[in-house]
Amino acid sequence: MRSSARGIGVIALAAMALLAVPATASAAPAEVGYDVSYPQCGDDLPRSRAFVVVGVNGGLSTRANPCLSEQLVWAWGSSGKADGQPRAQLYLNTANPGQLMERVVTWPESGATPYGDCDGANSTACSWQYGWERAQNSVVSFFTPAARAARVDSQPARYVWWLDVETMNTWQFGSSEALERNRATLEGMTEYLLSRGAEVGIYSTDEQWSEIVGEVADDSVLAGLDSWLAGSVTAEQAADACADDPLVPGGRVELSQYVPGELDHNLSCR
């Protein structure tokens, strides 16, 4: 997962565990964290890492990261020496393809939601149900089998789950109702993760969040979630971004991502 400086993001790099380590990677400070996912399966990653955020999906919420097991092993081998950041964290790709639902086989046809019953239409209710089902599928079908295969903790409640919100994925646009439906999707994902005892946060930039979601009301389940901010290139910029406003009311900036080269780095903002 990667978001360019204050702009459109690109999915971050991935890795295999326990491979040879390039000399340039080992020079990173011991407190630095990384985020990885499917694009770099088989690449070398640093031995020294304080924490790792692993992408559960393969670019789309309907696809699994084929290297998830190996990357979970690598993540759990982190030192945990970054201001209390959990050694292994996770992120999910997010989207709302309701405006293209005729071509989306995973669009829900039913379900009781906080916005009423889903009837298969491009509605706020079905958007919420779509988010719930995508999070459920990511946890049950992708994460749990991979964690068990890796012989690491497979309980969702043992992880922080970040929702990756970027304009490169499919979202609804063009009206306040579209923003409401996008918010509902993220609310549905959040509600499912909370029902499993997980901690939930949001990864994005201010610009992308405003374009996709807009304002979040104080009574939304999204209010109070922590933020992982993208958009920096250097460690200094990332440290400065820790003082930026969170993406939602009541939250705090927890992580700040910077991309000095090919591998995404992260600082703890605690």
Residue 35, token pair as written in the block: 């985020």
Residue owning tokens 């955020």:
53
Residue 122, token pair as written in the block: 């491009």
Q: What is the pLDDT of residues 164-198, one digit of tens each?
A: 999 999 999 999 999 999 999 999 999 999 999 99
212 Cβ contact list (under 8 Å, min separation 6): 165, 167, 171, 179, 182, 204
β-strands 52-55, 88-93: how paired? Answer: parallel
- Provide the pLDDT for residue 3: 59
Name the more confident of 84 and 199: 199
Residue 105, token pair as written in the block: 């086989």
Q: Look up the domain containing 165 and give its range.
A: 2-268
Q: What is the identity of the amino acid at 223? A: A
Residue 255, token pair as written in the block: 């992580």
C-alpha closest to that of 61 among 144, 143, 135: 135
> pTM (2 decimals)?
0.90
Q: What is the pLDDT of residues 7-18, one digit of tens each?
A: 333 333 333 333
The CATH number covering residue 60 comes to 3.20.20.80
Residue 262 scores a pLDDT above 90 = no
Residues 12 and 77: their CA atoms lie apart, in Å, by: 20
User: What is the overall mean pLDDT for the chain?
Assistant: 90
Confidence band for 1, pLDDT divided at 50, 70 and 90: confident
| Residue 206 Cα distances to 3, 8, 231, angstroms | 11, 11, 9
| Beta bridge partner(s), residue 117 | 112
**Residue 255: alpha-carbon gap to chain centroid:** 12
**Overall number of domains in the chain:** 1
Residues 151 and 47: their CA atoms lie apart, in Å, by: 20
Q: What is the pLDDT of residues 104-126, one digit of tens each?
A: 999 999 999 999 999 999 999 99
Residue 234 scores a pLDDT above 80 = yes
- Provide the pLDDT for residue 84: 82
- Provide the pLDDT for residue 115: 98
